[in-house]
Amino acid sequence: NLHGLKLKKGKSIREKMKEAGVLEDYLSKIKHQAAGKHHFREGFVVYESITSHLDSSYFGEISIGDPPQNFTVLFDTGSSNLWVPSTYCHTLACFNHVKFKPRMSSTFITNGRSYNLSYGSGTLTVLLGYDTLRVSSPSITVTNQEFGLSENEPTQPFYYADFDGILGMAYPSLAVGGTPTVLQGMLEQNQLAQPIFSFYFSRHPTYYYGGELILGGVDPQLYRGDIAWAPVTQELYWQLQGDSRVSCGPLKLMWHLQSMVLWACQGRMTHHIWGYLSIWRLPSGNLLFTLSLQYAVDCKEIKNMPPIIFVINGNQLPLHPSSYVLNNNGYCTLGIEVTYLPSQNGQPLWILGDVFLKEYYTIFDMENNLVGFARSV
């Protein structure tokens, strides 16, 4: 059986922080903090800069407890922990979101253990709890699912998030504290037909419909043609390697696939692409952090720009300028931003986000350690 969960699309954290006038200071602070962080740490304790969530604005609903308490969560393939705000939290970010009330659930238990989820913006402290989780209400029910109840949350950026918490969908080895993931719970309690999930992102998203998360398999109505498969290189992130490369005209670059955020690529690689596409950087005031820079293009020249072709495991996946250029009422910017996240082997790290995923229905097969791509309908 397939379980489809509708995804909503709201304003990104970046947009809301910019409107509030706090984005510049926040990104400046993150630049200096991130300089000393490593994306991969011994023992799989991962320090992941929360800036990777700034442009993530696709979210859905789950419930925890009995009777159910509803939450909006970000489904994140770049982490493995589930957490939601709770009544134990008294920081500003928690007061701006729905909070889990342990005393209102007849099935909640805790052993009193806490752990930290560290991000570039600060540390999120959560209390470990166990309760009934419902997804795709109520077709998937997992009893005694471990999850985190936030005890404090950094005001920036969580105060500005449209989602309450995060549901990680990466491999169990990435889970901080060694807690069983939601996908593990679903599989162990026979809630999924297969250890597979897939994402469909609408090319014209609205708040009420941004796409779909399919749990337990693939939906052939959401893609056309054949599925191009590629092996996962490490059971940690959804990371691909091998003969993968990205070409833009005569340019060929190595890359890796990681989590679902706005399409980003390693800094020194981007400068070559910028020159080839003949784009220019917009003035950014006092912004210091590279992720804050925007690159503009002449909207009239979009039709003359080349496709960027990803070659994954021998399969060519082109991305045309109509996809990677964002046209906002005649104001055109590139849907690519710079990131300086280090990889384990020192090769450039690329992150494929919604710019890519709107074009390609993406399948995550945890049983066979494969990622599949097919043209979205």
330: left (phi over 0), alpha (psi -120 to 50) or beta: left
Give the Cα-Cα-Cα angle 73, 227, 6 (nearest 5 degrees). Answer: 25
DSSP H stretches of helix in 170-228: 182-188
Q: Is residue 232 part of a domain?
A: no
Residue 205 and residue 93 in one domain: yes
Last residue of a domain, one of 188, 218, 248: 218
Q: What is the dihedral of CA 209, 215, 220, 222, to 10 degrees?
A: 20
Q: Residue 206's CB: how many other CB atoms inside 10 A?
A: 10
Let me know whether 180 and 249 are in one domain: no
Q: Residue 21 burial by CB count (10 A; 0-12/13-18/19+): exposed, middle or buried?
A: exposed
Whether residue 23 is contained in a domain is answered as: yes
> Which residues lie below 8 Å from residue 142, measured CB to CB, with a gap of 6+?
132, 133, 134, 135, 182, 185, 186, 189, 191
| pTM for this model (two decimals) | 0.80
Distance between CA atoms of residues 72 and 350, nearest Å: 28
Check whether residue 94 and residue 135 sit in a common domain.
Answer: yes
CATH number at residue 334: 2.40.70.10
Number of domains in the chain: 2
Q: Which residue, 323, 262, 321, is CA-closest to 294?
A: 262
From first to last of the 377 residues of the chain, give the pLDDT tens digit: 677 776 655 555 555 555 555 545 555 554 444 333 333 333 222 222 233 344 445 678 899 999 999 998 888 887 889 999 999 988 888 888 889 999 999 999 998 999 888 654 557 889 999 999 999 756 899 999 999 999 987 655 667 677 788 898 989 998 888 888 999 999 999 998 889 999 988 887 776 677 888 899 999 999 999 999 999 887 888 888 645 566 776 655 555 554 444 445 555 556 556 555 655 544 433 222 233 345 777 888 888 888 888 888 888 888 888 888 888 778 787 887 666 555 566 666 677 888 888 899 999 999 999 999 999 99
Q: According to the model, what pLDDT value does residue 107 have?
A: 98
- For residue 37, how many other CB atoms are within 10 A of its CB? 17
Q: What is the pLDDT of residue 46?
A: 26
Q: What's the maximum distance between 2 C-alpha atoms anywhere in the chain?
A: 62
71 and 7 fall within a common domain: yes
Amino acid type, 74: L
User: CA angle at residue 167 from 215 to 67, to 5 degrees?
Assistant: 85
Question: Measured between alpha carbons, how far is 52 from 339 in angstroms, rounded to an integer?
Answer: 9
- 215 vs 140: CA distance, rounded Å: 9
Contact 40, 344 (CB under 8 A): yes
Spatial separation of the C-alpha atoms in residues 54 and 97, rounded to whole Å: 17
Residues 98 and 12 in one domain: yes
By the 8 A CB rule, do 132 and 147 touch?
A: no
Report if residue 224 sits inside a domain.
no
Pair 283, 192 in one domain: no
Contact 200, 222 (CB under 8 A): yes
What gap in Å lies between CA 289 and CA 60, rounded to an integer? 30
Sequence-ordered list of residues with C-beta below 8 angstroms from that of 261, at least 6 positions apart, any chain: 52, 53, 54, 55, 56, 78, 351, 353, 354
Give the per-residue pLDDT at 305: 82
Range of the domain at 183: 3-218
Is 200 found in the same domain as 318? no
Q: What angle do CA 257, 334, 169 make, to 5 degrees?
A: 30
Q: Which residues does residue 230 pair with via DSSP β-bridges, in sequence order?
A: 371
The predicted structure's pLDDT at residue 334:
80
Domain termination residue (choose one: 187, 218, 249): 218
Can you read off the two tokens belonging to residue 171? 């491999």
Residue 260 is predicted with a pLDDT of 42
Same domain, 66 and 196: yes
Residue 223 in domain: no
Residues 255, 185: one domain?
no
